[in-house]
Structure 1
Amino acid sequence: MANHKSALKRIKQNKKKYERNKHIRSTLRTYIKFVREAVAGKDPAAAQQALAAAIPVIDSAATKGVIHRSNASRNVSRLTKLVNTLG
């Protein structure tokens, strides 16, 4: 265990950041899963609705630094292409 006051503070900060990022990443994966399940169910309306809900979550995760902006862009692009395959 750390002995310096600054090291103890850093441990607390890291834990707080880890919990926040974990929540955001988990939520992100859930929304992506909703889009993929709607596409697998061959329901264009549900897939479009799920995509519309997922895009802000993906952008928010990128803005907060949980994922890289290129990763966010790639996710949005791939999900959009996937939804568009339903016609």
Structure 2
Amino acid sequence: MANTPQAEKRIRRNGRRAEINKARVSRIRTFVKKAEATIVAGDADAAAAAFAAAQPEMMRGVAKGVMHKNTVARKISRMAKKVKALAQA
């Protein structure tokens, strides 16, 4: 239970920020799922386009503080490797 006005305000603010962050992470996951689905489907052009759309969303998540920088770097690297292999095949 909050004992000060500042703590009460913090509780209200944390709830609002949690909703915003939840929406951000959900949006990022949607972009990543679309990119992974196109990679599995084997369409090189669509995979490249989906990857190009997912990458800035993931980096924006890092900038906003909802995802860790190294986690996103690892995921982007792995996805880029798959897209490149698909394009060469």
Q: TM-score range by the shorter chain?
A: over 0.9
Matches within 5 A, 1:59-74: 59-74=59-74
Distance 1:35 1:82 in 2: 10
Unaligned runs of 5+ in 1: none
Residue type matched to 1:74 in 2? R
Supply the AA of the counterpart residue of 2:83: V
What residue in structure 1 maps to residue 23 of structure 2?
23
Question: How many residues are treated as equivalent by the alignment?
Answer: 87
> Identity over the aligned pairs, expressed in percent?
38
Is 1:51 the counterpart of 2:57? The answer is no
1:82 and 1:24 map into 2 onto residues whose CA distance is: 25
Q: Work out the CA distance in 1 between the residues paired with 2:35 and 2:84.
A: 12
Per-residue CA distance 1:30-57 (angstroms, 9 max, x = gap): 0110111001111000000000001100
Measured in 2, the distance between the counterparts of 1:40 and 1:54 equals 16
Cα distance in 1 between the residues matched to 2:77 and 2:83: 10
Q: CA RMSD in A?
A: 1.1
1:75 maps to: 75
More helix by share: 2
Q: If the length of structure 2 is used for normalisation, what is the TM-score?
A: 0.91
Q: Once the 2 structures are TM-superposed, how far is the Cα of residue 3 of structure 1 from its aligned partner?
A: 4.2
- SS of equivalent residue, structure 1 residue 46: helix
SS of 1:85's partner is helix
Q: Which runs of 5+ in 2 are unaligned?
A: none
TM-score (norm 1): 0.93
